[in-house]
Amino acid sequence: MDFGVVTFLTDYGIAPLELGRAAEERGFGSLFLTEHTHIPTSRTSPWPGGAELPRKYSHTYDPFVALGAIAAVTERITLGTGVSLINQHHPITLAKQVASVDRLSGGRFELGVGPGWNAEEMANHGANPRRRTAEMLERLDAMRLIWTEDEPEFHGEFVDFDPIWSWPKPLRLPPVLIGGGGPSVLDRVLSHGDGWIPLRVPVSGLDEFGRRIAELRERAAKIDKPVTVTVYGAAPKPAALESYAAAGVDRVLFELQDHDGAKDTLTELDALAELAR
């Protein structure tokens, strides 16, 4: 099982290049970054984590810019988004961003995606909150064409463009990790993903989670499709890590706490690296 970290990389926390170097030096296999393009000052969408939205949500770096910079100072660590809110991007532009980061990193990029929870944030980008999942899947279809074809074109409900030229192509087709935990998420993983990235699976829910992983593997085997399972926000406890491994998890991502500056983050990385050993 691979051990990685995920974080809201902010302008007041540890610097991107320092974080990338530190994570790789401590032996982590992966570094994932979250995404919010902005947070509307007035919203009605409830935050799934509680009543008051933490300040980190409105202070995050653009993950693709940050990961491109981190790629230049690292050599082996997998870089990814956990998760990119792809409905808030034009698919032609995002396809180029992903391909660029993949090439700059030597083929180390993985694209975690989700439709998001903040309806007001989506609406500011012209996305339809009521059709968020269908829009996400169609955008993925369009992006895959751009990555793989010399003259792609796409005509759908949400995405429409005539034949285009768009290079660079990624060094490999970037693995797409589908976020979510709802009843139909496994369908989306199998139809549009290469892996599943559920959010903060509680230890109390690991038995059910293990059954869902078994279902995913069984269904994937029937269509000869390899899939991976990455847990975002894994519990940093030895017993929990043993349970994740027993359930068939391929990778756990420890979510770093929100700190001012670098010192406390580096201390936290030290402790998590010791746990991972």
pLDDT tens digits, residue range 129-149? 999 999 999 999 999 999 999
Neighbours of 263 (CB within 10 A): 10
Q: From residue 206, how far is each of 5, 125, 199, 240, 252 by CA, in Å? A: 20, 36, 13, 9, 13
Distance CA 140, CA 94 (A): 10
pLDDT score of 203 more than 90: no
For the residues 105-126, what does the mean pLDDT come to?
96
- Looking at the structure of the chain, the number of domains it has is 1
Q: Minimal CA–CA distance to 132: which of 110, 117, 112?
A: 117
Beta-carbon contacts of 28 under 8 Å, excluding residues fewer than 6 positions away, are 3, 4, 5, 77, 269, 272, 273, 276
Cα four-point dihedral sign 13, 123, 130, 96: negative
Q: What is the pLDDT of residue 102?
A: 98
Q: Which of 180, 175, 173 is nearest to 133 (CA)?
A: 180
For residue 238, what pLDDT is reported? 94
Average pLDDT, integer, range 207-232: 97
CB atoms within 10 A of CB 139: 25
The predicted pLDDT at position 63 comes to 98
CATH of the domain at 87: 3.20.20.30
57: pLDDT strictly greater than 90: yes
Rounded alpha-carbon distances, angstroms, from residue 99 to 58, 66, 269: 26, 14, 29
* Average pLDDT of the chain to the nearest whole number: 96
Tokens encoding 37? 């393009």
pLDDT of residue 115: 93
Q: Predicted confidence band at 162 (pLDDT cuts at 50, 70, 90)? A: very high
Domain that holds residue 32: 2-276
For residue 215, pLDDT over 90 is answered with yes
Q: Are 230 and 253 in contact (CB under 8 A)?
A: yes
- What tens digit of pLDDT does each residue of 18-55 get? 999 999 999 999 999 999 999 999 989 999 888 899 99
Residues of the chain above pLDDT 90, percent: 95
The rounded distance, in Å, linking the Cα atoms of 22 and 64 is 19
pLDDT of residue 94 exceeding 90: yes
Kindly give, in sequence order, each residue whose CB lies less than 8 Å from that of residue 241, ignoring residues fewer than 6 positions away: 1, 234, 235, 252, 275
Mean pLDDT confidence for 213-241: 96
Q: Is the pLDDT of residue 177 over 90?
A: yes
Alpha helical stretches, state H, 193-258: 206-222, 238-247
Q: Is the pLDDT of residue 230 over 90?
A: yes
